[in-house]
């Protein structure tokens, strides 16, 4: 059995300038090497939850364990929180907006430099991170601002990967990208996951949940309202509707077909490929 990468116990969080709880009694476990999708409407608490996991803020009460031994609760000293950043990489929404350096190499080196790594180790980390995001090493001396939108986002992500995080949080990583850049970036995230990185991705796209995640956490009003597999989640269309969440197209088509008397063996085909296979199989059965 995979070990727990993150354990959250009875977590509550209220922003200092607010009287309402942004998170209420959240408990969950994320195992090593899972690909977790966090979903829910705007204001449901997704960003607050991932900020707590990254040690950007401290719980008001309850506790978190991030990777073996790093515990955070309301009394944790702020200096201690920086330890979390060594283990957990955070790719913010539109991360390219945070690019600042004159060259791609300097930008990617910023995080490792802050960790106090020696120059040789930083150089190696920059090269490896560029390779991971599938950008040519020639770009190192270029200005990040001369690149395309998709490339800028990759440079920003390389800056996080250069610190070799065991856990990578991505807040809507494909927002604003075209279809090609979206698919390329998701493939990259999937590759990282397959090589061992635990992925936590905030997304509004149910297709991304269906194609990539093996664990999905749905939030509503600061609470976890579903903590399950995509297959299980998409089985309950009524519940999704209540949460104002949609079904992936492939599952929706399967449900339409079922209403027309064509029942697929797999009632929640998570991808269009699976849907096509299921329809072909149902047709064969019908002809017999
Ligand atoms: P999501 O990421 O799902 O959109 P958030 O975690 O940003 O949700 O927000 C959860 C709740 O916390 C919302 O009610 C939101 O208004 C509130 N909130 C978020 N950030 C702040 C802040 N900096 N100060 C006060 N309240 C906030």
Residues whose CB falls within 8 Å of the CB of residue 273, separated by 6 or more in sequence, listed in order: none
Range with lowest mean pLDDT among 64-68, 73-77, 153-157: 64-68
Q: Which atom of ligand 1 is nearest to the CA of 48?
A: 6
45 C-beta closer than 6 A to ligand 1: yes
| Per-residue DSSP letter, 218 | E
Q: Where are the domains of the chain?
A: 4-247, 248-288
What does pTM read for this prediction? 0.93
Q: What pLDDT does 187 receive?
A: 94
Mean pLDDT of 139-157: 95
Q: Which atom of ligand 1 is nearest to the CA of 51?
A: 6
User: How many residues belong to the chain?
Assistant: 288
Mean pLDDT of 53-69: 91
Could you report the per-residue pLDDT of 14-46, keeping only the tens digit for each?
A: 999 999 999 999 999 999 999 999 999 999 999
Instruction: Tell me the backbone φ, ψ of residue 66, rounded to 5 degrees.
Output: -115, 120
Distance from residue 76's CA to the centre of ligand 1 (Å): 22
93 C-beta closer than 6 A to ligand 1: no
Residue of 14, 17, 18, 200 to mutate, ligand 1, most atoms within 8 A of C-beta: 18
Distance from residue 43's CA to the centre of ligand 1 (Å): 5
When pLDDT is cut at 50, 70 and 90, the band that residue 79 belongs to is confident
Q: Which atom of ligand 1 is nearest to the CA of 41?
A: 3
Sign of dihedral through CA atoms 48, 53, 54, 58? positive
When pLDDT is cut at 50, 70 and 90, the band that residue 81 belongs to is confident
Q: What pLDDT does 1 receive?
A: 66
- How do beta strands 198-202 and 35-39 pair? parallel
Query: 3-state class of 250 per DSSP?
Result: helix
Judged against a pLDDT cut of 80, whether residue 215 lies above it is answered with yes
Could you report the per-residue pLDDT of 153-194, keeping only the tens digit for each?
A: 999 999 999 999 999 999 999 999 999 999 999 999 999 999
* Rounded Cα–Cα distance for residues 138 and 140 (Å): 5
Considering only residues 240 and 60, tell me which one the structure prediction assigns the higher pLDDT: 60
Judged against a pLDDT cut of 70, whether residue 2 lies above it is answered with yes
The answer to whether 62 and 8 have CB atoms below 8 angstroms apart is yes
Which residues partner with 35 through β-bridges?
199
- How do beta strands 88-91 and 4-14 pair? unpaired
Q: Which atom of ligand 1 is nearest to the CA of 44?
A: 3
Q: What pLDDT does 236 receive?
A: 87
* Rounded Cα–Cα distance for residues 153 and 75 (Å): 36
50 C-beta closer than 6 A to ligand 1: no
Distance from residue 47's CA to the centre of ligand 1 (Å): 7
Judged against a pLDDT cut of 90, whether residue 98 lies above it is answered with yes
Going through the chain in order, the beta strands assigned E by DSSP cover 4-14, 21-31, 35-39, 61-66, 70-73, 88-91, 167-171, 198-202, 215-220, 223-228
Backbone dihedral region for residue 192 (phi beyond 0: left; psi -120 to 50: alpha; all else: beta): alpha
Residue of 43, 50, 244 to mutate, ligand 1, most atoms within 8 A of C-beta: 43
Q: Which atom of ligand 1 is nearest to the CA of 47?
A: 2
Classified by CATH at the fold level, domain 4-247 comes out as Rossmann fold (3.40.50)
Alpha-helical regions (H) of 16-162: 46-53, 78-87, 104-114, 119-132, 149-161
Judged against a pLDDT cut of 80, whether residue 85 lies above it is answered with no
Q: Which atom of ligand 1 is nearest to the CA of 18?
A: 25
Percent of the chain with pLDDT over 90: 80
Residue of 41, 47, 57, 218 to mutate, ligand 1, most atoms within 8 A of C-beta: 47
């Amino acid at each position: 059995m995979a070990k727990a990468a993150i354990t959250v116990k009875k977590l509550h969080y209220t922003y200092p300038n607010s009287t309402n709880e942004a998170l209420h009694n959240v408990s969950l476990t994320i195992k090593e090497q899972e690909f977790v999708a966090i979903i829910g409407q705007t204001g449901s608490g997704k960003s607050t939850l991932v900020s707590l996991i990254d040690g950007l803020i401290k719980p008001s009460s309850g506790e978190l364990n991030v990777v073996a031994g790093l515990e955070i609760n309301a009394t944790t000293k702020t200096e201690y929180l920086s330890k979390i950043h060594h283990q957990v990489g955070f790719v913010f929404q539109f991360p390219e907006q945070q690019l600042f350096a004159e060259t791609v190499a300097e930008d990617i080196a910023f995080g490792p430099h802050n960790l106090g790594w020696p120059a040789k180790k930083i150089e190696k980390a920059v090269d490896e991170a560029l390779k991971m995001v599938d950008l040519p090493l020639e770009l190192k001396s270029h200005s990040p601002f001369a690149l395309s939108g998709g490339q800028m986002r990759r440079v920003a992500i390389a800056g996080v990967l250069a610190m070799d995080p065991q856990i990578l949080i991505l807040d809507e990583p494909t927002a604003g990208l075209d279809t090609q850049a979206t698919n390329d970036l998701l493939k990259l995230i999937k590759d990282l996951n397959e090589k061992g990185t635990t992925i936590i991705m905030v997304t509004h796209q149910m297709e991304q949940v269906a194609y990539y995640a093996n664990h999905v956490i749905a939030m509503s009003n600061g609470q976890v309202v579903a903590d399950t597999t995509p297959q299980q989640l998409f089985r309950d269309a009524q519940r999704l509707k209540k949460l104002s969440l949609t079904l992936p197209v492939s599952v929706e088509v399967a449900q339409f077909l079922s209403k027309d008397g064509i029942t697929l063996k797999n009632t929640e085909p998570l991808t269009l490929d699976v849907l096509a296979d299921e329809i072909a199989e149902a047709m064969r059965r019908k002809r017999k």
